[in-house]
Amino acid sequence: MLVYKKIFLPLPPNYILQMMMKKLFILSLAAIGFVACSKRADYIVLSGKVEGTNGIPLELKIIGGEVDQPLHIKPDGTFQDTLRVPSNYYTIFNPQGIEIQLYLEQGDELGVNIDLTKMPLEIKFSGKDTLANAYLHKKADLTMEIQKSGGMQQLLVKAPAEFKTAVNEYSKKYTDLLKNTKNLSKDFVKKEEKAINYEMLYLKSIYQNAHQKLTQEEVALPKEFADELAKIDYDIAEDYNTYRAYKELVTNKLFDKFQDNENDENPWGKLIAHVKGLKSKNIKADLTRYFISGVSVANTPEENAELIKSIKENVKDTAALKELDRRIAVLERLKPGTDFPPFTAEDLNGKPVSYESLKDKLLYIDVWATWCKPCIKEIPSMKALQEAYKGKPVTFVSISVDQDKEAWKATVQREKLSGIQLYTNLSMNRDFIDNYDLSGIPRFMLVKNGKIISISAPRPSDAKVKELINANL
């Protein structure tokens, strides 16, 4: 199974956050501006105005910690919400490019005025946390300057020694900005020192993989950086809720473990054990959410049972559990003995071939692509398997999901592929992935008389494939 890992970069301001839906208690206030109210220790009042909307509805969210909630923008651009904020660092976010870093302390009031007519955006703060938030705005400007001077890609393609120098320079720039900003509270300075450290650690953690993907070169991380990464504690509940860079460090650690165990018979078992060993309930719950997408027909029933058990033990929010129910429904829909979902694909001459014309046969179906290295690796074994069953009542069907149709045709001809060779354009056949729960390729399926024998059959290189085919001849 292929798992695609996204790389999140902490420096660019257009940080893309991926969070599950979470519950947040919101009290909407009718008045505009700060209101006189009794403070509660775990709440803040956030208010302000967005200039330059021209009466067009604007969608803004506040994100951070356990918060993922829309701000209620009135037609005149004003907003005011009372929010529960268990953490400190938040972001006013809009997919169209607005991203404003905020520091919020429980029980305070903060005003944020945003002028969309200015470029870059003009942000003015008012309230107790003004100094801290003004600093974060300067920090964002510094990040923009760093990006303009080279960019993230240019940083990650550097040789190890140059990368080390550049990261240390970045760290000094951020640290100097913090030191030179006067009248910040000691508590905020302490938190920001930690934030900068995590941001730099994150850059160091992604360097090797990113460098290899960008340059095709394998490099060693500078020893100093490697030693720092080895000392990270990935089980700090408060830091996970507070610092987004730390959250990404923890999340990527899980993905790294999957990739390290990808060739194991049961990689999910090791991941489940890793999460189970964590003490922090918030981290455990968040990481377990990733297991939901892992519930797949590509797993063994035992693996799926382990995943489902872990999810139900650690995840409590309704939205996530509904998604789990949907994944379980997919398993039921594609279990042995159920109807195989029909398809229509093109042959080498561009003529449509319907599954209906093949359904009365014993079919060994291969879903593949020319760009998929594991797929290409199976070609010799597929040829040998076809030769072993020559003259026997089993039909071999290969369905390419290449974007480049000509690349598929060229490979079929060059490799002299036999059996029924078909092609489907996924952009024109969007249901194909969902129909067979394709989490990755290659995927092999065994079907007899329209019924599923195995929706995730052994590969041609696996000796078990002959046992399965022989049992159904």
Each residue of 31-87: pLDDT tens digit?
222 233 334 457 888 898 988 877 777 788 888 877 788 888 888 889 898 888 777
The packing angle between helices 281-294 and 301-314, to 10°, is 150
Taking the CB of residue 117, how many other CB atoms lie within 10 A of it?
Answer: 10
Rounded alpha-carbon distances, angstroms, from residue 99 to 60, 193, 204, 415, 419? 9, 21, 24, 51, 54
Confidence (pLDDT) at 18? 31
Q: What is the mean pLDDT of the chain?
A: 85
Average pLDDT over residues 111-137: 88
- Split at pLDDT 50, 70, 90, the class of 24 is very low
Q: Does residue 20 sit in helix, strand or coil?
A: coil
410-416-420-423 Cα dihedral, nearest 10 degrees: -10
Specify the pTM: 0.74
The pLDDT tens digits of the residues spanning 435-452 come to 999 988 999 999 999 999
Higher pLDDT among residues 5 and 43, named by residue = 43
Average pLDDT over residues 295-324: 92
Dump the DSSP string for 163-179: HHHHHHHHHHHHHHHHH
What residues are paired with 175 via a beta bridge? none
pLDDT in tens, 386-437: 999 999 999 999 999 999 999 999 999 999 999 999 999 988 888 999 999 9
Return the CATH number of 344-470, one of 1.10.10.60, 2.40.160.40, 3.40.30.10, 2.102.10.10: 3.40.30.10
User: Closest by alpha carbon to 231, among 249, 218, 207?
Assistant: 249
Nearest-angstrom CA–CA distance, 19 and 61: 13
The neighbouring-strand residues paired with 98 are: 94
| Tokens found for residue 358 | 């093949």
